[in-house]
Chain A
Amino acid sequence: MQQPLLLFIGDLRGDSMHNIAPLNWRKFPERYLLKGNYCEVCKQAFFPPRPICPNCRRKGKLIQMEMPRQGKILSYTKVHVPPEGFKNEAPYYLAVIELENKAKVLSQIVDSEQEKIKIGAKVKKVFRQIGEPDKYGTITYGYKFKVIQ
């Protein structure tokens, strides 16, 4: 009985996008606050959170942990041909960032002059729109990073 209703809504693409909202929601702690986890046995932090410690396996003891908001660029690239949905933001920089607790994050770099984006540059987390599937679906928010020195 879903089909006739959908016709009234008029935008089938929008409807399929709505199914993403609950999946997105489960990732809010990760995207909004950089919540990863930390193994109390081997003392290593993980981001995104791991279901099981890759070092200690069954003997590991993982707890949820907010990652530090600062880190440094380990590696970066300039994206000219972006995936679907990021066309209007291109070209943009993507970087692998090592946070202060050694956990690694892949993130877009924003608000930073080209000459400041380099390996070793200190970066800080900012809160930005990550994307919107269309004019009808939910807006996705999350972390991006900017160079602070």
Chain B
Amino acid sequence: MTAGIVGYGIYVPKLRIKVSEIERVWQKSSGGIGVNEKAVASIDEDACTLAVEAARRGIEDFSIDPKRINAIYVGSESHPYAVNPTSSIVGDALGTTNKYYAVDMEFACKAGTAGMQVCYALKKARMIDIGLAIGSDTAQSKPNDALEFTAASGAAAFFIGDKKDEVIAEIESTCSYTSDMPDFWRRPKAEFPEHTGRFTAEAYFKHVIGAAKMILEETGYRADEFDYAVFHQPNGKFPLKAASILGIETKKVEQGLITPLIGNTYSGSTMIGLASILDIAKPKQKILAVSYGSGAGSDAFIINTTDNISDRRAKVPVLEMIKEKEYIDYALYLRHRRKIKSL
């Protein structure tokens, strides 16, 4: 059996702030970004607690024994510590053994999918039983910055294995398209990331389209052969434009387009979209997934669902789970995200 996804879990915090509320405070328009509201981690949540909750759901819904997890990679640009791994906290919180490879990853919004690639490679090298790749972020944004309209919190955990009766979706192929293109960054002691405005769009399309074309060329598939596609979604528009450039119909992208509903969850973004597709995909369907991380790079995957997906599903689909929410105003948002100076 080819290595692939044996389970997944998603966690989106309950709090939401409407983009219109942020517009009200700063008296300016978000400028048609296709995002209605964003998920906000509460004051006692961080990228680590989000990661644990996402992985816990995967363990429960897909009956995965934590003792079988031999690799944990947590991708985030908001790891709670600068030094001290999130991945080891996640392992202990899930009740793994001590025998697991672990490291925290950072590559803006694509560190989670990079973790999937590593787990996939370790699985193919037969070095692990099950690998756990997590993308988790409580994305930071400066008050009154354009990022504030979209920077959200959420996490996705993917379990990679190769047991015939467990794999719900095989990873047929993966590749990365990488170059030095600094469109978004945060220096060590800076509290919030900086970005280059429109240059970000140029970087996004160069890498997302670059990686998609690369994987199509390597495997010989045509873009129209896929049943679903999911792209990194910094806003509600870019993924649709990427699909149209590649010649993929809009309806194939909609199921995985979650950012309009919860904002950009950074490292969680592409992975939550992929989970939403797996929530409804039928056996033997083909999915194209392409992440994007500023700086910059894209990881592309060709993923084929198996017969197992008919009876191995998340108990609560992404689109259902995110309906559990509680709206907060801008003042409470500042309190929860500790943006009030004294917090």
Partner pick for A141 among B48, B95, B335, CB 8 A cutoff: B48
Known contacts A89-B44, A139-B46; A126 and B53 CB within 8 A of each other: yes
Shortest CB distance B82–A (Å) = 11
Are B49 and A129 touching (Cβ within 8 A)? yes
A76 to B84, alpha carbons, bound, how many Å?
A: 36
B322 smallest CB distance to A (angstroms): 14
Of A28, A88, A138, the contact of B43 (CB 8 Å cutoff):
A88
Once bound together, how far apart are the Cα atoms of A25 and B81, in whole Å? 17
For the complex formed, measure the closest distance between the CB of B120 and the CB atoms of chain A, giving whole angstroms: 26
Q: Say whether B80 faces chain A, with CB atoms less than 8 Å apart.
A: yes
Minimum distance in angstroms from B144 CB to a CB of chain A: 23
A144 at the interface (CB under 8 A from B): yes
Interfacial chain A residues near B89, Cβ < 8 Å: 141
Residues of A within 8 A of B249 (CB): none
The answer to whether B46 touches A111 (Cβ under 8 A) is no
Contact with B along A77-119 (1 / 0, CB 8 A): 0000000000011000000000000000000001101000000
Q: Are A28 and B46 in contact (CB under 8 A)?
A: no
Let me know if A127 and B46 touch, CB within 8 A.
no
Bound complex: CA A66 to CA B95 (Å): 10
A129→B43 CA distance, assembly (Å): 8
Choose among B42, B84, B92 the residue that contacts A111 (Cβ–Cβ < 8 A): B42
Docked CA distance A29–B56 (Å): 16
| A129 to B, closest residue via Cβ | B44
Q: Is B343 an interface residue (CB 8 A)?
A: yes
Nearest residue, chain B, Cβ from A146: B14
Contact partner, B49, options A88, A89, A128, A138, Cβ 8 Å: A128
Whether A110 pairs with B44 at a CB distance below 8 angstroms is yes
Instruction: Tell which of A32, A66, A113 touches B92, judged by Cβ atoms closer than 8 Å.
Output: A32
Collect the chain B residues with CB atoms within 8 Å of residue A128's CB: 44-45, 49
Check A141 against B14 for contact (C-beta < 8 Å).
Answer: no
Q: Determine if B296 is an interface residue (Cβ-Cβ < 8 Å).
A: no
Interface digits, A116-149 against B, CB 8 Å rule (1 contact, 0 not)? 0000000000111110000000110100100000
Contact (A141, B43) CB under 8 Å given A32-B93, A33-B95: no
Query: A140 to B287, alpha carbons, bound, how many Å?
Result: 40
Nearest Cβ on chain B to A112's Cβ, whole angstroms: 9
Candidate in A110, A111, A127, A144 with the most chain B CB atoms within 10 angstroms: A127
From A87, which residue of chain B is reached at the shortest CB distance? B343
> In the complex the two chains form, what is the Cα distance from A128 to B46 in whole Å?
8
Docked complex Cα distance between A14 and B335 (Å)? 24
Q: Does B52 contact A (CB under 8 A)?
A: yes
CB within 8 Å of A: which of B31-48?
Answer: 42-46, 48
10 additional A-B residue pairs with CB within 8 Å, beyond A89-B43, A111-B326: A33-B95, A66-B95, A111-B14, A126-B53, A128-B45, A128-B49, A129-B49, A139-B46, A139-B80, A141-B89
Chain A residues at the B interface, C-beta cutoff of 8 Å: 28, 32-33, 66, 88-89, 110-111, 113, 126-130, 138-139, 141, 144
A sample of 9 inter-chain contacts (CB < 8 A) reads A32-B93, A88-B335, A89-B43, A110-B44, A111-B14, A126-B53, A127-B93, A129-B46, A130-B44
